[in-house]
Chains A and B, each alone.
Chain A
Amino acid sequence: MRFNYQVIVNIIGLLLMLNGVFMLLCIPFSMHFGEGDLMAINWSGLITICVGAILWFATKDHSNKELKKKDGYLIVTLGWVSMSCFGALPYILSGAIPNFTDAFFETISGYTTTGASILTDIESVHKGILFWRSLTQWIGGMGIIVLAVAILPILGIGGMQLFVAESPGISPDKLQPRIKETAKRLWLIYVMLTGIETVLLWAGGMTFFDALNHGLTTMSTGGFSTKNASAAHFSPFIQYVMILFMFLAGTNFTMTYFGLHGQFKKVIRNEEFRFYLGTCVLLTAVTTFAIYLASGTGFEQSFRNGLFQVVSVVTTTGFVSADYTQWSSFITLLFFIMLFIGASAGSTSGGVKIVRHVILLKNSILELKRQLHPSAIIPVRFNKTAVPKDITFNILAFIMIYISIFSIGSIVMASMGVDLETAMGSVATSLGNVGPGIGSVGPVDNFAHLPTPGKWFLSFLMLLGRLELFTVLMLLTPYFWRKL
């Protein structure tokens, strides 16, 4: 099979143009604060739009409109990589991050909603650039392809292929028969929640600029802050608001949609939601208790710190209200393991996702029963329906690959002279799109000191994690490129 290169280039051109338009959205902040980053933003936006327009225009008259599955995977991966290259322009041109490796790392960490930063002093960065940094997370959270499907008319039938390749989880739920309508509703909920959070944060005492930035990075489960101290800089009320919205961002948007339509029963009965809620409650109880014992802070503060960190890490957001590595090695280990959980499928979070854990866990337990009754047919049930075998196999493969990449990745990082904790922490946090790790990349540290090849490697892992392994890994297999 041959790739439909014309359509691939055409759509990537379109994505770049869309990206360029987003860059221009930083202009108002840049002008308001007047710190001299205006030209850098203007130029970045114009260059991105022009390159996108050239690609789009050159392939405008593509005769073959058909989009095969393979084309879809290629578009999504190439689209994300090219977006990250152009997304680094504002950092480079403004001089905020002059080094291309660092700028690319910061951008891809934004788009993949990881939130790992190489900036040592965030507050000294110009406001226009800071806004762009938050915006990259917001774009990447729901996904630019989902946005393109929602607002651009061109992606009719092929849209489904792209949608599947980009959206997190096992298979996306369709809220409406047509993919375009589904994408529109998802984005609508996303924009709405971001708006509400911004208003609440603003009312809670943040400046409008900080409120908007944190709104963008919370709903996308990104975790970039505008303050060096991250969430610890703000009042308890603000921290509670952020906890609530981190939790919502980690909820399947389909459930939020049902909730908004008053169908609470459907939400409560959803097995993944119950496990998600249960996981958060259980982990919070354990950490609160452990923090209370280890640190000697008051109960409210221990609870708030525990809850905030647990929700922040489970939803893969990565905001920090306190350094979880400072209390005890028990808590540090607990948080390290949490890096692998991930929130719900169909949310903006990264990681493995609750649904995969639950199905696999159930399958493993049922395996004991199957040993006792060799001839019995015992399917795994999820949401009261039997899970087809091929989905179980798919999840098994996913987790196996995930663990392999983590192991090999840690070895690769360690081979570059990084210490053990840092190597494991940085790989787990990048692959899970969380942000903070352990060791020297802990919650209050940053990634600036890592070696250059290490930064490139982690950038690759972030993309792998955001596109859920298969989309990117598929491109590395010979089957993908073979004609037969």
Chain B
Amino acid sequence: MRIIIAGAGDVGFHLAKLLAIEEHDINIIDLDSSKLQYISNHLDVNTIKGSSTSYKILEEAKVSKSDLLIAVTESESTNISTAIIGKNLGAKKTIARISNTEFLHKKDILNLKSIGIDELISPESLAAKEIKKLLKETALTDTFEFEKGILSLVGVTIDEDSELLNQSLADTAYLNPDRNFNTVAILRGNETIIPHGANKFMLNDHAYFITQPDGLERVMNLSGKIRTPVKNLMILGGSKIGVKTAMQLSSKYKIKLIEQDKEKCFELADQLQDTLIINGDGRDVELLQEEGIADMDAFIAVTGNSETNIITSLVAKNHNVKKTIALVENIDYIHLSQNIGVDTMINKKLIAASFIFRHIRKGEVLNLISIHGVDGELVEFEVKPNSKILDVEIKDLNFPKSAIIGGVIRNNQGITVRGNFRFQEKDRVVVLSKPECIRTVEGFFK
């Protein structure tokens, strides 16, 4: 596919990285030549310096022959104009990143398609959605449900109480008598391990499992976690994500929102009637204590400052808050902070990039999910009538080592598969694969 990406910021870079591995022809446009220099040194893409709303620049990027134009610069209006101009110059499909979510809600009334914008993406609302999902299960660092939960991916941190600690996968087989979950990935520091029998669980590993509904309880017991429903919740920062999260959750939870700016607090209080707005600096530990941080079930730090978010999450963790979520803009911090104890990191740029990536791959695969921090993608395939894996046992498939089959959905039922499993037509297969062998894996299902 020929793809043009306008904007070489974090979203643009991450997206280009995901797409370049897939061997798409990518042109990146940006005004900042140092950013472009960095990209062309690191990725196999073409870079063009200039404004993405310029006719000449878009022509240079061969917009008339492009299949997709993705406008992800910092500026909403640039993105919108880029998409419109690009569409008129012949781009087959356009995606624009926006920050004002009115566009998203009133998509049909505004009739954006008719002026040339096919798809909108708002990293902020995606992040708020992600937070909502994570709060449902406090013991988990990550979760994704396939088909309303008949098969789900869950991530847990291995701590001292876990029965799995220092055991290899093969050794722990007895702990999984009903065979209703599979280990699909272990994240240790910066390294993503696709586990095989001999791999061991170590302290502070983030382990990811594919489980059937009845296996979830078991996974949590093994990892030493107790399921506790969230009732009280503290949000730090009245940013867009903070407000959106508060809005979406205020009916279910009791929420306290801390914001530094007094005037903004007033506005927020007006806007969020069921939420208790507190004016103060979140870095002030005394304030947090006073506001009862110890009684909170979850702490969400979403200020504009990544460092503040990480540090306050650690403070919350110290006060035994069960679930901490921090918004981290700096991608390099993600691994680091997960290692020092923050439960889950949210990075809206990564979320946005994976969202667009998923959108591009739609049709080829049923589903594609990126897991925070893990160097790999969770992909759902359908077994086609003539695919080469039909009627072969998994263990004889010669499947790549950097990928693992987690589970299968057959007749609306989730199955966590073993080596002797045989695929049938119309099975939907969930695979976790490192980026470099996604193509190879795809070949198995074609």
CA distance A69 to B40 in the complex (A): 12
Chain B's closest residue to A66 (CB) is B42
Least CB distance, A69 to chain B, in whole angstroms: 7
Q: A177-B27, A181-B25 are in contact. Are A156 and B44 (CB under 8 A)?
A: yes
Least CB distance, B22 to chain A, in whole angstroms: 11
What residues on A are CB-neighbors of B26 within 8 Å? Answer: 177-178
CA distance A69 to B42 in the complex (A): 10
For residues 142 through 166 of chain A, which have their beta carbon under 8 Å from a beta carbon of chain B? 156-157, 159-161
A176 contact from B20, B43, B46, Cβ within 8 A: B46
When the two chains form their complex, are residues B44 and A157 in contact, meaning their CB atoms are under 8 A apart?
A: yes
Least CB distance, B410 to chain A, in whole angstroms: 35
Query: Beta-carbon contacts of B32-56 to A below 8 Å, as 1s and 0s?
Result: 0000000011111110000000000
When the two chains form their complex, are residues B46 and A160 in contact, meaning their CB atoms are under 8 A apart?
A: no
B42 contact from A157, A176, A178, A179, Cβ within 8 A: A157
Query: Beta-carbon contacts of A47-91 to B below 8 Å, as 1s and 0s?
Result: 000000000000000000100010000000000000000000000
When the two chains form their complex, are residues B436 and A179 in contact, meaning their CB atoms are under 8 A apart?
A: no
- Flag whether A362 is at the interface (Cβ < 8 A): no
Query: Beta-carbon contacts of A157-196 to B below 8 Å, as 1s and 0s?
Result: 1011100000000000010111111000000000000000
What residues on B are CB-neighbors of A176 within 8 Å? Answer: 25, 46
When the two chains form their complex, are residues B436 and A65 in contact, meaning their CB atoms are under 8 A apart?
A: yes
- Flag whether B171 is at the interface (Cβ < 8 A): no
A179 contact from B2, B41, B44, Cβ within 8 A: B44
- Flag whether B291 is at the interface (Cβ < 8 A): no
What residues on B are CB-neighbors of A69 within 8 Å? Answer: 41
- Flag whether B23 is at the interface (Cβ < 8 A): yes
Chain A's closest residue to B2 (CB) is A177
Chain A's closest residue to B23 (CB) is A178
When the two chains form their complex, are residues B41 and A177 in contact, meaning their CB atoms are under 8 A apart?
A: no
CA distance A178 to B26 in the complex (A): 8
Query: Beta-carbon contacts of B222-264 to A below 8 Å, as 1s and 0s?
Result: 0000000000000000000000000000000000000000000
When the two chains form their complex, are residues A174 and B46 in contact, meaning their CB atoms are under 8 A apart?
A: yes
Chain A's closest residue to B4 (CB) is A177
What residues on A are CB-neighbors of B20 within 8 Å? Answer: 157, 178
Q: A65-B436, A157-B20 are in contact. Are A177 and B25 (CB under 8 A)?
A: yes
When the two chains form their complex, are residues B436 and A160 in contact, meaning their CB atoms are under 8 A apart?
A: no
CA distance A178 to B21 in the complex (A): 11
Least CB distance, A387 to chain B, in whole angstroms: 13
When the two chains form their complex, are residues B436 and A177 in contact, meaning their CB atoms are under 8 A apart?
A: no
What residues on B are CB-neighbors of A181 within 8 Å? Answer: 25
B40 contact from A65, A159, A160, A180, Cβ within 8 A: A160
When the two chains form their complex, are residues B40 and A177 in contact, meaning their CB atoms are under 8 A apart?
A: no
What residues on B are CB-neighbors of A65 within 8 Å? Answer: 436
What residues on A are CB-neighbors of B41 within 8 Å? Answer: 69, 160-161
Chain B's closest residue to A182 (CB) is B46
What residues on B are CB-neighbors of A180 within 8 Å? Answer: 44
For residues 416 through 446 of chain B, which have their beta carbon under 8 Å from a beta carbon of chain A? 436
What residues on A are CB-neighbors of B27 within 8 Å? Answer: 177
When the two chains form their complex, are residues A159 and B46 in contact, meaning their CB atoms are under 8 A apart?
A: no
Least CB distance, A178 to chain B, in whole angstroms: 5
Chain B interface size, under 10 / 10 to 19 / 20 to 34 / 35 or more: 10 to 19
What residues on A are CB-neighbors of B25 within 8 Å? Answer: 176-178, 181
When the two chains form their complex, are residues A178 and B44 in contact, meaning their CB atoms are under 8 A apart?
A: yes
What residues on A are CB-neighbors of B2 within 8 Å? Answer: 177
Least CB distance, B12 to chain A, in whole angstroms: 14
When the two chains form their complex, are residues B46 and A177 in contact, meaning their CB atoms are under 8 A apart?
A: yes
What residues on B are CB-neighbors of A156 within 8 Å? Answer: 21, 44
CA distance A174 to B47 in the complex (A): 9
Least CB distance, A1 to chain B, in whole angstroms: 15
Least CB distance, A183 to chain B, in whole angstroms: 11
Chain B's closest residue to A160 (CB) is B44
CA distance A161 to B43 in the complex (A): 10
What residues on A are CB-neighbors of B44 within 8 Å? Answer: 156-157, 159-160, 177-180
CA distance A159 to B43 in the complex (A): 10
CA distance A178 to B20 in the complex (A): 9
CA distance A179 to B47 in the complex (A): 12
CA distance A230 to B27 in the complex (A): 47
For residues 345 through 392 of chain A, which have their beta carbon under 8 Å from a beta carbon of chain B? none
Chain A's closest residue to B61 (CB) is A177
CA distance A69 to B37 in the complex (A): 13
What residues on B are CB-neighbors of A157 within 8 Å? Answer: 20, 42-44
For residues 175 through 214 of chain B, which have their beta carbon under 8 Å from a beta carbon of chain A? none
What residues on B are CB-neighbors of A159 within 8 Å? Answer: 44
CA distance A75 to B26 in the complex (A): 27
What residues on B are CB-neighbors of A177 within 8 Å? Answer: 2, 25-27, 44-46
Chain A's closest residue to B191 (CB) is A63
Least CB distance, B401 to chain A, in whole angstroms: 10
Chain B's closest residue to A174 (CB) is B46
Query: Beta-carbon contacts of A233-276 to B below 8 Å, as 1s and 0s?
Result: 00000000000000000000000000000000000000000000
What residues on B are CB-neighbors of A161 within 8 Å? Answer: 41
Chain B's closest residue to A159 (CB) is B44
Least CB distance, A299 to chain B, in whole angstroms: 48
Least CB distance, B25 to chain A, in whole angstroms: 4
CA distance A174 to B44 in the complex (A): 10
Chain B's closest residue to A180 (CB) is B44
CA distance A474 to B178 in the complex (A): 61
CA distance A160 to B44 in the complex (A): 7
Least CB distance, A67 to chain B, in whole angstroms: 10
For residues 175 through 234 of chain A, which have their beta carbon under 8 Å from a beta carbon of chain B? 176-181
Query: Beta-carbon contacts of B97-136 to A below 8 Å, as 1s and 0s?
Result: 0000000000000000000000000000000000000000
Query: Beta-carbon contacts of A374-417 to B below 8 Å, as 1s and 0s?
Result: 00000000000000000000000000000000000000000000
Query: Beta-carbon contacts of A272-304 to B below 8 Å, as 1s and 0s?
Result: 000000000000000000000000000000000
CA distance A159 to B41 in the complex (A): 10
Query: Beta-carbon contacts of B5-23 to A below 8 Å, as 1s and 0s?
Result: 0000000000000001101
What residues on A are CB-neighbors of B21 within 8 Å? Answer: 156
Least CB distance, B340 to chain A, in whole angstroms: 25
CA distance A177 to B48 in the complex (A): 10
**Complex A-B: 29 CB contacts under 8 Å:** A65-B436, A69-B41, A156-B44, A157-B20, A157-B42, A157-B43, A157-B44, A160-B40, A160-B41, A161-B41, A174-B46, A176-B25, A176-B46, A177-B2, A177-B26, A177-B27, A177-B44, A177-B45, A177-B46, A178-B20, A178-B23, A178-B25, A178-B26, A178-B44, A178-B45, A178-B46, A179-B44, A180-B44, A181-B25
Add 9 more A-B contacts to A69-B41, A177-B2 (CB < 8 A): A157-B43, A160-B40, A160-B41, A176-B25, A177-B26, A177-B27, A177-B44, A178-B45, A179-B44
Please list the 10 inter-chain residue pairs (A to B) with the smallest Cβ-Cβ separation, ordered nearest first: A177-B46, A177-B25, A174-B46, A157-B44, A179-B44, A177-B26, A178-B44, A177-B27, A177-B45, A160-B44
